Amino acid sequence: MDVISAEIAALRKAIEDHNYHYYVEDAPVISDFEYDKLMRRLRELEEKYPELDSPDSPTHRVGGEPLEMFEKVEHAVPLQSLNDVFDYDEVIGFDRRVRSVLGDSVEYVVEPKVDGLSVSLEYENGIFVRGATRGDGSIGENVTGNLRTVRSLPLSVNSEYQRLIVRGEIYISKAVFEELNEERELLDQPLFANPRNAAAGSLRQLDPQIAHSRRLDLVVFNIQLAEGSEFENHSDTLDYLKSLRFRLIPFRICRTAEEVIDEIKRIGASREEFPFEIDGAVVKVNTLSAREAMGSTSKAPRWAVAYKYPPDQKPSIVKNIVVSVGRTGVLTPKAEIEAVRLAGTTVTNVTLHNSDFISQKDIRIGDTVIVQKAGDIIPEVIEVDISKRPDWSIPYEFPTSCPACGSDAVREEGEVAYRCTGAECPAQLIRNITHFASRDAMNIEGLGPKVVEQLVQEGMLRSSADLYFLNRDELISLKRFGEKSADNLLNSIENSKRNDLSRLVYAFGIRHIGQQAARALAESFKTLSALREADESEISLVPDIGPVMAHSLVQWFSSNQSAHLISRLEEAGVNMDYISSSVGRKFEGMTFVLTGALSGFTRSQAKKAIEDNGGKVSSSVSRNTDYVIEGENAGSKLDKAHELGITILSESEFVELLQS
């Protein structure tokens, strides 16, 4: 056991060393393959010898059941906010106030203000035990499970302090932010507005797996508490945190107001060089005893301010207005403008959002416009300078056909976006095939977005139907494809031919047609041919199908591209008939709510069992709920069920109900 224990300790140290090199220093020293081998060996040993497991093991960065709700945490040291200043005169006024208390011998630490989410990180005897959001400064939320997923956060540190509390900022890097929005566009999910909102929403997910998928990052900037410490300066505490292998916000020491202003200007000019978004610069008195002399108000310290950079706005001329088609079929206009420098980058394109935005501001080719880049990543038009409009300008007319495939572009009532209706539009190809192959649609394993993108780029897929005509030898010749992976993919594609009609209808990705609607349509019409021939009034008679859905279906089926896609799928032998489920309908009209962790089911398995029997699963308890299924560590939903008198089933009672 001593030998095994030593190997486990060595593996943990090696993995955390590699995490530090990769996620903090951005300088990996081994390949991903070698890293994965170390992690796999550690998991094997911890599973075989559970008595040697430890909460600070890197294997625990992601795990645990989703939470019902976050616990409240009282901060041992309040996480105060800062007073803002907006011009250099206010910076000079701050310096004057500081010197009136401390005299002329003053040092400041100046650092960029990361536009993220502030957190406290608590370590006991060097082990990370708790992490919390700032909240109102006094009370935050316990997000320990989500913070464990952050690779740049050390789960253990070599600290001599029994209790150490560190303050940092959680963020999503600009590069990861763009990747996440590309993925969300593929999945037809709402895009994140900016990295800060994305980071805040990700850290407050009840399921750590979701937080893990968002690839959060961390920088630290303060020691809140180190019992028994004797640091003299804030800069000393930062050096100490660096020795513990935290990633720090970069900083400089300044001794005059002029030096502070110069550093604020330097940070502002170089803001594009940082991996994170910044919205200002923070100025702090360096000496800790001097801070005590300055004191604080109830909300903010008197020894620090945050300089907020003003929005960068400049005039430019619209050279052209062009419309592109996104992966979800949305037509997005942008203005090509004369090059202008904004927030450290050269901008030649600005978003125009949608047709309403263009109409409301009456933006025309040739106009002089004021453009801004602040808060969001994408620069936009703030206003038009009508006084400089050329005589030859005419109002812009938004296109009503797709610029990528020529299909009709339609704008549905209540929406601002025009969408392409083409089933085989090349601009939507990756998204359409990814959806077609997804688990809830045709369930083709091994065909995620990256593989789809690779096959499209290689010219092997021009529509979802091409999946059924893939060539084994061509697949094997591709990178990341061996014989086994190619065979597995082809077998999964072949198996998908036998899916029920409801999966196929959902896989088409028809606007407004979700899984439940697809199931209802398949049960009602029995064949795809019958569904294609139905008119809107016939389709609207199906339960849960409204006129908007009926119109969307008829419109999709009337397209030549849709007809071609269906023809190719028929040629491939894909089933287009309803397959009656062998499972009964005993839960028809019943609504279930799941709470707590079940031992014999995953959440998705329990949900499927209920839906296969005709029932519905809701995320919240109401008077319309028929049963609440109680697992271990059930949360507030159980209290609500008691309050409303809803029948509560244990897991064993639920199983009996299924088998009855």
Q: Confirm if 60 and 153 have CB atoms less than 8 A apart.
A: no
* CA 237 – CA 222 distance, rounded (Å): 7
Which residues does 333 contact at the CB level (< 8 Å), separation at least 6? Answer: 321, 322, 323, 351, 352, 353, 354, 355, 357, 358, 398
Which residues, 6+ apart, have CB-to-CB distance to 100 below 8 Å?
A: none
Alpha-carbon Rg for the chain in angstroms: 29
How far, in Å, CA of 178 to CA of 194, rounded?
10
Measured between alpha carbons, how far is 595 from 618 in angstroms, rounded to an integer? Answer: 11
CA distance 645 to 209: 33
Q: Is 299 a catalytic residue?
A: no
Query: Catalytic pick from 37, 48, 72, 113?
Result: 113
CA distance 636 to 90: 48
In 3D space, the residue among 154, 130, 170 whose CA is nearest the CA of residue 25 turns out to be 154
Cα separation, 369 vs 315, whole angstroms: 5
Q: Which letter, b or e, does each residue of 326-364 get, where b requires 16 or more Cβ atoms within 10 Å of its Cβ?
A: bbbbbbebbbebeebebbeeebeebbbbbbeebeebebb
Q: How many CB atoms lie within 10 A of CB 204?
A: 14
d(CA 280, CA 308): 4
**60/42 Cα distance (integer angstroms):** 11
- The DSSP secondary-structure symbol of 84 reads E
Closest CA to 504 of 438, 422, 459: 438
Question: Using the 8-state DSSP alphabet, how is residue 445 labeled?
Answer: T
413 three-state secondary structure: coil
Residue with tokens 């409301």: 360
Contact assessment for residue 544 and residue 516, using Cβ atoms and an 8 Å cutoff: yes
Closest by CA to 421, choosing from 412, 408, 433, 431, is 408
- The count of residues in the chain is 660
The per-residue DSSP string of 150-197 comes to: -TTS-SB---S-SEEEEEEEEE--HHHHHHHHHHHHHTT-PPPSSHHH
List of E strands, 488-596: 591-595
Active site residue ranges: 113
